[in-house]
Chain A
């Protein structure tokens, strides 16, 4: 288990994360700028800061990416309609990415940020198992 980052490292990571946002969204240019700054001015715990910074950026990026897990084939149109629906629901630009997952048997599992939407046969079977 990695040592927990100190409060100062977490605070710095949060500040750097704030600098990485433009109009509330993480941009590649800003992140590059932050990384360049860190290279020039390494903090006391560079690894801890970078790991905490990475976690914050990854979490933010995950809010804009819809991962669509599917068992069978999925049409491009469905992906685009999902993108549209989630963009409207989460009030931010969402891009969809499809991932094949045969264990779902049929149906879909959608990840966006911390939220998980599950409409698969595997999930319904597991619900039935719990109920039994």
Chain B
């Protein structure tokens, strides 16, 4: 609607001979991407300011004698005494389906060399999060395709689930796997022609990353056929801190368009630690008072107002957020991690030790939690994996004790054996998400103790064999599980027969 009004206003402006009023100021100083400006007495907070040479700025500090603006664009041409003026507009980015499959910068300009984006609408970068009346409880699942997560730490549409861990523990991989899984589900769902199917569109926001990493991520998405359902917002490490600060908000605005228009979207912020660092840099240059770890006082609000924009709206769509935080030496009690942990609806904690032991994804079951996701978990997963988290936690505890003694009773030994097999079963290669029906079948087989006589080292191969068997021979059964989303007596019997058939063929093949 706002676009229509803007078009009419532009038409009026063309025909009008009236004088145009602008509020002006002059640059007093420019340094580190921040300009101090004299004048601009009518400027509003967060208003876009026009600089000479086409550069725009964002008014962030309104002081008694001057205005502090972060400059978005080329600062090399700006000098002291240049005239700037207010635009009366808030920073906006193009939104809509035209952005799917594209990589854009923090201002929504294409950076992938695929030509201009034909977006019909724009949304303001900063928006007030939906209030409590507009929201609805999270009760629809969002499958990540990662068995350890979907079975133990389920995520619902509209949830904010933090992915946290040290560097190189597979945080981005989990996010990319989730995006790839959405694309796979979208393809199957849209091909089925089911009118009630709701595709999930993904937005990946890369903040402060190396360009080579961003290219690798885009290539992985492209190779998996997921880019057509994904928008990549980039603010690489080489970009100025203002763009790195804005990128997540731009991504959120793009996601909000899907949510407001009755669609579901997933947004990944990779990562908010670097976002906080960029904001700290801007704040220090603007001479704002610094607090703990030199972050400004409003660093909590920086992330809370961003993540609160993810929601499930009544009668509309949803925006699910997967923010990523990088910890140092596993310290989750640092300033930014604790802030984001308290804002989100749960966290997936990845441990370096587990990663180095070859347990990938390296999800720490004890420290990971999903506060609202269980309401969104499908019944079939609950039926086959409801007790897994407890069993695994018990296994870790027993395993720690077992290190001190060799005499273990039969029950403890059995628990340890089972735990070791569950851990093996949850190992999954990267960029290879599993459909939920396959996850249910594999967990069902484990529940039926079909893996008990398989050596721990062979569990991964056995699970892959079961997967191949079901895909090749029991496609109808898998479709039935996916559509029913629960295991009734008839379906349980069918699944039992199918998994036992596989076991027989597996044992025969092993001999």
Contacts and interface: CB of A to CB of B under 8 A. Distances in A.
A55 B38 contact: yes
A9 B59 CA distance: 24
Contact of A114 (B18, B31, B36, B39): B39
Contact of A119 (B14, B18, B39): B18
The number of chain B residues touching the other chain, given as a range, is: 20 to 34
B128 interface: no
Contacts, number: 54
B484 interface: no
B22 interface: yes
Given A52-B65, A117-B19, A127 B42 contact: no
Contact of B20 (A52, A114, A117): A117
B80 interface: yes
A1 B64 CA distance: 21
B65 A110 contact: no
B219 interface: no
B19 A114 contact: no
Contacts of B80: 1
B24 to A, nearest CB: 5
Contacts of B19: 108, 110, 117-119
Given A1-B31, A10-B65, A56-B65, A119 B17 contact: yes
B465 to A, nearest CB: 64
B13 interface: yes
Given A1-B31, A10-B65, A131-B14, A123 B24 contact: no
A115 B65 contact: no
A84 to B, nearest CB: 17
Contacts of A117: 19-21
B85 interface: yes
Contacts of A1: 29-31, 80
A97 interface: no
**Chain A binding surface SS class:** mixed
A4 interface: yes
A43 interface: no
A117 B65 CA distance: 23
B25 interface: yes
A4 B13 contact: no
Contacts of A131: 10, 14
Contact of A113 (B14, B41, B64): B41
A66 B511 CA distance: 98
B266 interface: no
B213 interface: no
Interface residues of A, number: 22
Contacts of B65: 10, 14, 52, 55-56
Nearest to A113: B41
Contact of B21 (A4, A108, A115): A115
A123 B20 contact: yes
B332 to A, nearest CB: 38
A114 B17 contact: no
Nearest to B54: A130
Interface of A: 1-2, 4, 10, 14, 52, 55-56, 59, 108, 110-111, 113-119, 123, 127, 131
Q: Which 9 pairs show the lowest CB-CB distances between chains A and B? A: A119-B19, A114-B39, A117-B19, A114-B41, A116-B22, A116-B24, A118-B20, A1-B29, A114-B23
Given A59-B39, A118-B19, A119-B19, 20 more contacts: A1-B29, A1-B31, A1-B80, A2-B29, A4-B29, A10-B65, A14-B65, A56-B65, A59-B38, A108-B19, A110-B19, A114-B40, A115-B22, A115-B24, A116-B22, A118-B22, A119-B17, A123-B20, A127-B14, A131-B14
29 contacts: A1-B29, A1-B31, A1-B80, A10-B64, A10-B65, A14-B65, A52-B65, A56-B65, A59-B39, A108-B19, A110-B19, A111-B24, A114-B23, A114-B42, A115-B24, A116-B22, A116-B23, A116-B24, A117-B19, A118-B19, A118-B20, A118-B21, A118-B22, A119-B17, A119-B19, A123-B20, A127-B13, A127-B14, A131-B14
Interface of B: 10, 13-14, 17-25, 29-31, 36, 38-42, 64-65, 80, 85
